[in-house]
Amino acid sequence: MLKNYRFFGGFLTKNSRRFSTKKAKGNLNRYIQRQSTDEFTVRAREHNFRARSAFKLMEIDEKFKFLKPESTVIDIGCAPGSWLQVVVDRCPNGYVMGVDLQNVLPIRGADILSLSDITSPEVQSKIREKLAKRGSVDVVLSDMAPNPTGDNATDHLRLIELCRTVFRLFTEEKAFELSKNGVFLCKIWDGSARGEFIRELSNRFSTVKTVKPTACRDNSAELYLFCRNFK
């Protein structure tokens, strides 16, 4: 019997309370106020970036200098496209692909597979076809995140699993080939499973660094794992 359960963010929870309309409206108002004064949100509008997350990738690249003019880059979970905007600018002679379940508006210089499930064999076949002339991928990016449930521990584990799914695409499923010495950059929310996942990554990469760009909010558990030199 499921009458005492409801689905929330992909998880089944018991006796969940309904959201208060008044509380939700208050949260929305606070979000709008924060966005209107946030430094990186304002700068994103000024530079025509689709999201403030563009500055996170720019800072990480300035630190590790991994986006080269001729790099082949695939951004998995690329919506709304701000990371693609950065990559297209920094890899003018390369090949830039974005994949997302959502519809992503076109970006000049990027090959975007919208409404596409990266775990689908059909989508993976299409990716291999598009990469046939380029060969292997130099950089794999993942800035995606699941819809939050409100439980930090649960959200952390769900995001780790998303990152692990991307990791397996080029280590187990062979959806595409990551070049020797290639780079994998993914977002996580900090939590109990971080150490275990870093150990998994370290088995396939010579270097794994934890980074928190300035553009991450101070009260956020958001971190990035930068992995270099694929074995």
Catalytic (active-site) positions: 187
C-alpha distance from residue 4 to each of 9, 12, 55, 85, 105 (Å): 17, 10, 44, 45, 40
| Spatial CB neighbours of 175, under 8 Å, sequence gap ≥ 6 | 118, 124, 127, 128, 169
Contact criterion met (CB below 8 Å) for 177 and 136: yes
Place of tokens 């970006």: 107
Q: What does the alpha-carbon distance between residue 33 and residue 41 come to, in Å, rounded to a whole number?
A: 11
CA 95, chain centre distance (Å): 18
Place of tokens 């595409």: 176
Q: What does the alpha-carbon distance between residue 142 and residue 151 come to, in Å, rounded to a whole number?
A: 22
